[in-house]
Structure formats: C-alpha cells, structure tokens
Structure 1
Amino acid sequence: MEPSSNVSSTHASTSATPSTTPPSGTISSAVSDAGDQSKLKILLGILKRFVGVSDIASVRFSLPSQLLEPVPNLEYWNYLDRPETFISIGDSNDELERFLGVLRFWFTKDLKFVKGKPCKPYNSTLGEFFRCSWDVEASLPPVSASRPASRSSAKSKAASTATTPAPTPTNKAPIRVSFLTEQTSHHPPVSAFYIDCPEKGISARGYDQISAKFTGTSIRVTPGEHNLGIFINLHNRGDECYRLTHPAASLGGILRGSLNLYVEDVCYVTCPKTKLKVILQYLGDSWLGKAKHRVEGVVYEYNGEEDGITRLKDVPSKAIRAKIEGSWMNQLYYILPGSTEKILLIDLDPLLPANKICPPLEVMLPNESRKMWQAVSEAIHAKDYARATQLKCEIEDRQREKAAARTAENIDWKPRFFEAPSLSAGQPSLSKDGELVLKGLHSGNYALKPSDVTGA
C-alpha cells in the first residue's frame, strides 16, 4: 500500500488538492460521510488478516474500489501544499532565518493532512509518473531572527497571537515551481521525486516509501528503509543542503468507527554547511481530552559531522538558537534566546492547499497518473464500484503479467525519468528524460514521446 490522499481527482488542467495524511505517509481508508461504518467494517475485516505481519505495505493485496479515493497516489504526494513557503527558504542572508524558513515550509508541506480526513488512493504502478507545476504570484518575507525588543505584557500577548504576514506580490511574472515523480520500484513500492524552481535557485528531492503495521487497534506508519527524508538544496547559497526526516504516524479509531490521525515521534532537520539542526518532538495527547497535536523543538548549533543528540533535554543550552512550540494542526511559534516572547512562525488555520497546473489530458501519456486511472476515477465518481474494481484489476493484472515476462527474460526494470536508483543515498538523480520533463514544465511545453516500456 502507498501513501494516501483524500482528494478527488479532477481532469481539468488545474486542480486543487485539499487532502490529508501523516508527515511520513499513511495507510488509511477512504471514508466518506455516507456509509462510514460499513466501509470501516470492510476495512477492519481486511486488516485482521495482517495482525502480526511486520510490514503490510510490502504485502500484495488490493483494496476494493469503494474503499479508495479516486486520486492517483503520485498526484497526491508532492509536499508543496503551500509552494510559496518553499521558494522563500533561501531569500534571507541570515543562516538562522533560512533555517526557520525551512521549518515554515515543513509545517505547511502536508497541509492536506490538516484540512482533510484519512483515506486511501490508488496504488502506483511501476513506471507510472506524474508531473505538475505551481505558479506563485506572491512570496513570503524571511522569518526574522532578530531578538524582539522588550515589550509590555499586553504587546507580548498580542505578538504571540499575531497572524502570519500576508504574502507580498512579486510585481512581476509568477514564479514557477515544477514537480516530477515516478514509481521506480514496485516491490518494495518506492517512488522518486524532484522539485525544481530555477528562478529562486532551489530544488528538493527524495524517495517516498512507507512501512506499516496493523496492531489490531491502529495502523502505525513509518518511513521505509529507502525513505531517508526530503533533501532541499539552495543553489544560490553555495549548494546549502537541508535534510528533513519524517516522523512516524498512527491511524487510530478503526474499532470505534471514527478515524483519527496522531503523531508521537521525533524527527530532525539538519544543515551540514551551517551546522544547524532541529529536533522536533511530536507529543502524544491524552485519550481523556481533545487532541492538541502538540510539537516542541530546539534549533541549535552542533559540532562535527554528527552530534548524536536525539532528545531535546540533551541539547546544551549554550548551543540553542531558537525554540519551537505549538500545534502542527494550527499555529506554530518560535522563541529566540534571551526572550520569552513567542513569535508566530506559521498560522495554518487560514491556509488551504494551493492549486496545481497539470498538462491537458489529451497530451498525457498512457502511463501518466491521471490518464492511467481516468476510467477508474470516473467509475468511482459514478458509484459504479463493480466497474471500477474491474478496471482497477485489469491494470493490476497487466502489471503482474509484464513483471512475469521480464522475469522470464531476465530483464531488470529501469526507471525512465530518474537514474537507476541508488536507494541507499536517498537522493535520486534525474535522467536526461527527467531533465527534459522539468524543462518542459517550466516553459509550459508538455510534449513528450511515449515510454518505450511501461510497467502496466
């Protein structure tokens, strides 16, 4: 099973994607307002077969179409719900302000998780790919790392509840951010992605893979062995690189018939060049009270290649550059040394996932996500689940048949848009075709020759 989404797939060239899953991915069921209990009962019956299985994400099984959300997995999985936070990371000349900009991006990258409900998209097929862009018309100012002057308690209180600064119009043509992802492996299911914004000199890449275990009451999802995080590169800052690792997440409430998502884990952001690191501790909420989805963190300077610190309490006080606190569902704040004032990092409440720009259906290739799953999506939207299941099974059977033929001929699968993956590195490299796709996305030229080989 793949990372999930709760958005419905549309077939216009531009579509919004308000949806939800945990920061590390999710294995969850598509649960609509009508028929929730029935769908959860079906899901529970399926999941009971996997109690004790170490990784249900690696098991070959297929969910019935009525439990799926009509959206391709690769379309959903892009980390750019608010692309303006991404392109603003490298704007400041101050290293701490850039680091805080990375954290502002971190808390908005999966806004779909905050605004939607848990659900399950289509499993990606081998060689399936998705491409899109965003045109950003306004940028965010850098996150200020200047220590605030002494203020009255009233002013401090006002500052702590301030709203996120409004984006500033660019006063020129929109800034384009482009995204390409491809399913590079099917067993285990792994996809490579690349995000690029040449105008701002920033890119990001990584592999998406999850591992999941059903405990009997909840599903715990962790990054797979090849998922080493998101790697952001600031090309205009001497190739300053940031590694962002994913925390584990859990989907509970299956037995009660009311799904809920919670995160109780630690993750890290590290910049080897500036020697800045943050430990983010996602805190568990009491089952007696309303979930607050709290997170605490410390940004600090470290020495050497790797300091080995994994707990907030072990960070030397003299090394601290900022503290982070708040709710990853609402508002996040930072506090600078020598001050007790909470300064707003990002307010998620007024934000929604940004619209994406996709090639028109008529120019998409057969193994492009929307084109591949178009008929299945149409059947699900029409609530013709028998037809949707039939069409989905045809795609899955075709993938199995082609895999068996390659095995019989001793042919190894090679991705088209990424170099044959060096998964241990965690940072995929674009192939010549991949570079061509991104160049076309930047210019709006979507012409692309059909793939010589497809996985389904």
Structure 2
Amino acid sequence: MENTPVASSSLALTPTATPPGAISNTGSEAENQSKLKTLLGILRRFIGVADIASVRFSLPSQLLEPVPNLEYWNYLDRPETFASIGESDDELERFLGVLRFWFTKDLKFVKGKPCKPYNSTLGEFFRCSWDVQETLPPVPSRPSSRNSRNSAASKPSQASSKGPVRVSFLTEQTSHHPPVSAFYIDCPEKGLSANGYDQISAKFTGTSIRVTPGVHNLGIFINLHKRGDESYRLTHPAVNLGGFLRGTLNLYVEDICYVTCPKTKLKAVLQYLGDSWIGKAKHKVEGVIYQYTQEDDGIQKIKDVPSKLVLAKIEGSWMSQLYYTVPGSNEKHLLIDLDPLFPEPKTCPPPDAMLPNESRMMWEGVTEAIHAKDYSRATQLKSEIEERQREKAAARATEGVEWRPRFFEAPTLAAGRPRLSADGEKALKGLHTGDYKLEPAAVTGA
C-alpha cells in the first residue's frame, strides 16, 4: 500500500479518488519505537481481560492512524477480483474466483503494517465506490500447461470484459455495546453483492494480541444474483499481532477458516500455518476444495477430507503467490500473484455532499491535527466526539429511546446478514449514479 496518509476530505473539491485507509509508515524509527513502548504500557493493563475490544478504551491520538475505522475495514482492496467472481458458467471456476477475491481482500496488511484507526461512533457511516476498468478472466478449472506457474498466461491480468464496472460500498456502525458495524457491497452490472457484520474480539497475552471474529461476525456473505442467488459464506481466521517487544508489529495467522456454497455443495478448508521463531516468516496457507454431501458434514480439518471428494488443492503464501492443483496432476497453477498488486484508490463523495456523521467529515479535524502532529489538539477534538456520544447515549437511556440504525434494518445479529433499509438502498443507488445527496439524519449517535 502507498505510504501516503489518507487525504482530508477538506482537500477535495469533486468526488475524489483517494488511497484506502492508509497504513502509513510515517515517523522515524525512534518515534515508532517510542509509540510501541507507550502502547505496550497501556495494553499491559488489560492482561487477563477476556475481550479488550469490548472495553473500547481510548488511545492517545499520537498512537492512532489518521483514518476512520469504517473506512479502514473494507474488503475491496482489489475490487476487480470481486467484480469477476461470477464470470464463469463452471461452478468450480466460480468458486476459485471467490478464493481469488478472498486472498486480495486484506492487501492493506500485505503491503503495509498493522495500525489502530479511530473507534467508530454509533450511527457513523462511510460510503465509497470503485470503477473497475477491466474484469478478470475466470480461473480455469481444467488448466492446460500454458497456465502453469511459470506462464504469463497464468497471471490474472487478461481482461474478461471491458468496464467500467462500478463496485459500491456502504457501512454503518449499528451498535456500540458491543461495537458492531454492518456493511453492504454492490455491483449491479455483474449481479453481485456481499454483506455481513464486522466485529472483533481481542485478548492481550502480554506479548501479543490475538484477534478473533466477534460473536456477531459470521463472515462475508457473497451473493450471485444472476446465478440463481448462488451464495458463499467466507469465515474469518484468527490473527495474532505480535512484535511489541521487538518494536516492529507483525501479523501472524495460525488458524482454519472455511468457504461454503450451499447451492453447489462446494466447500474449501483453508489452513493458515504458523511460522517458527527461527527464520523468515513464510505466511503459508494450504487448503482443499471438495464436494460435500450433507448440510453440515462436520469436516473441520484438511486431513479429514476424503481424497475422492477433492476437486482442487490450494497452497502458497497469503502475502505473495497462491497456487492451485487439480486431481491427476502435481502441476501448480497460479491463482493470484499479490506481489505486483496494491490497494486500489476509492472514490468518495465531495465534502459538500457529506453529512456530519459521515466518517471523513466527523473525524476531519482530528485527522488534520494528527497530520500536523498537533497531538494535543487531536486529543481534544477526539475527546469532544467521544463525550458527545456518551451524552447522547445517556439522554436516550433517560428518555427510553432505543437506537435504530439508518441504512440497515434493526440488527438481526444472529443471522449475520444485515438487510438494507430504504435509506440504505437510496445511498447505494446514489453511489452508482453519482447522486450523493442525502438528507441529514434526524438522530445521530455523536
């Protein structure tokens, strides 16, 4: 990812393409070391706390990345991989297309470094879009030798269709206790959408933070409306954030996650392998795609998948190249090469079309102050936002008023799949057409 900070919305005069929630490497090495020591001192207070994410403690502004949380947490670092999922008439090729998207969704971590964005406030929302100029060809389920690991034809750079194809993203903080946000991704030209809830649980062990999906985060749900509403559920693995003692933060993934398509009965088990303390981290992942026969086959590990059901195997590094092989051959075929890829810039509404509770507008002053390294001013502005949220929450409690999100229907958190409200549908349609005007919310959370 580019090492440029996120541009302040005040600098934009028209709908502007800006870098995604940047993971910057700003500051000298000494400054970064000092920040990590300060952060470690704060985190030590939470040793033994079951879930520090639910505590919602406020970090000093100098430890924050100047980007709103809702902008930072999107899965469209490479929107062309999402727009290309349903291109093939072959069900296995579509499944491979889902995995190609999966391995690009967090490119911000591959190209950047971990960071802490602003905590979202209740009712805060973010919206943006991407114009994909060329979608990708399907991943061949019966690749020829021309599509081997050493062939340029195996790189996902050939266009499947010319664009532009617009992919739009809308997210809103729907709950504060626990902190949960709903999101919706839409690509009507391709008949694609995705939705889900973002929520994390985190525990500090003393040397690292283990981040897992929260109880309401059941994964990403992708829908192919032009394929008879074929759907996919992609669950998230746990992530370990370490390196506090060495002064260099690193992400390590050592867990198993799943991708399931109920209609085609295809399932992938992906196992992220831990790296040893000795030697360079390889960030390895391996997996299998297979055909299951029951609604819940109970299989949780690769070794338990019967070989006769396997349709493809996955292996490689989730920070570099991913390959697949098909039964009857040991030849590796490239699924995705992350090395030349960087997160795509997003297009946001211009400042005069943003509402006060829109992420960039809400945090504009804090962002400007952090960029100017005026941390006392940034902390003051951040504290004012947090205090407003507390005051409004207390007033609602006194009046017996229940908070309701604006762009999503009242949360049915157990389902894991939020539904758009009428305002949510309008906001997404506006992103597609370039009509960003929305009426201010009657009630805001901060």
Preserved CA contact (<8 Å) 1:70 1:376: yes
Distance (Å, rounded) in 2 between the aligned partners of 1:123 and 1:156? 45
Structure 1 pair 411/31, CA: closer, same or farther in 2 (3 Å)? farther
Equivalent in the alignment of 2:115: 119
Preserved CA contact (<8 Å) 1:210 1:221: yes
* 1:110 corresponds to which of 92, 95, 106: 106
1:191 partner SS: strand
Counting only pairs closer than 5 Å after superposition, residues 268-279 of structure 1 correspond to structure 2 as 268-279=258-269
Distance (Å, rounded) in 1 between the aligned partners of 2:309 and 2:23? 36
Once the two structures are superposed, what CA deviation does each residue of 1:229-264 show, in whole Å capped at 9, x if it has no partner? 000000000000000000000111101212111000
Structure 1 pair 263/32, CA: closer, same or farther in 2 (3 Å)? farther
Counting only pairs closer than 5 Å after superposition, residues 54-453 of structure 1 correspond to structure 2 as 54-148=50-144, 158-159=150-151, 164-168=155-159, 170-171=161-162, 173-453=163-443
CA drift of 1:296 comes to: 0.2
CA drift of 1:33 comes to: 4.0
Structure 1 pair 111/18, CA: closer, same or farther in 2 (3 Å)? farther
Once the two structures are superposed, what CA deviation does each residue of 1:297-333 show, in whole Å capped at 9, x if it has no partner? 0000001111010000000000000000000000000
Structure 2 residue runs of 5 or longer lacking an equivalent are: none
1:35 partner SS: helix
2:43 partner SS: helix
Equivalent AA in structure 2 for residue 131 of structure 1? R
* 2:5 corresponds to which of 1, 5, 8: 8
Distance (Å, rounded) in 2 between the aligned partners of 1:297 and 1:42? 39
Preserved CA contact (<8 Å) 2:63 2:116: yes
**In angstroms, what is the RMSD of aligned CA positions?**
1.9
Preserved CA contact (<8 Å) 2:21 2:72: no
Structure 1 pair 63/331, CA: closer, same or farther in 2 (3 Å)? same
Equivalent in the alignment of 1:26: none
Preserved CA contact (<8 Å) 1:229 1:246: yes
TM-score between the two structures when normalised by the length of structure 1: 0.93
Preserved CA contact (<8 Å) 1:247 1:266: yes
CA drift of 1:19 comes to: 4.3
CA drift of 1:17 comes to: 1.9
TM-score between the two structures when normalised by the length of structure 2: 0.95
CA drift of 1:165 comes to: 3.2
Indicate the percent of aligned positions where both proteins have the same amino acid.
Answer: 74
Distance (Å, rounded) in 2 between the aligned partners of 1:147 and 1:345? 11
Equivalent AA in structure 2 for residue 188 of structure 1? P
2:150 partner SS: helix
Structure 1 pair 390/412, CA: closer, same or farther in 2 (3 Å)? same
Structure 1 residue runs of 5 or longer lacking an equivalent are: 22-28
Distance (Å, rounded) in 2 between the aligned partners of 1:384 and 1:297? 48
Distance (Å, rounded) in 1 between the aligned partners of 2:149 and 2:385? 57
Once the two structures are superposed, what CA deviation does each residue of 1:396-455 show, in whole Å capped at 9, x if it has no partner? 000000001101111110000000000000000000000000010000000100000000
Distance (Å, rounded) in 2 between the aligned partners of 1:107 and 1:130? 24
Equivalent AA in structure 1 for residue 18 of structure 2? S
CA drift of 1:157 comes to: 6.4
Equivalent AA in structure 1 for residue 218 of structure 2? L
Once the two structures are superposed, what CA deviation does each residue of 1:268-299 show, in whole Å capped at 9, x if it has no partner? 00000000000000000111010000000000
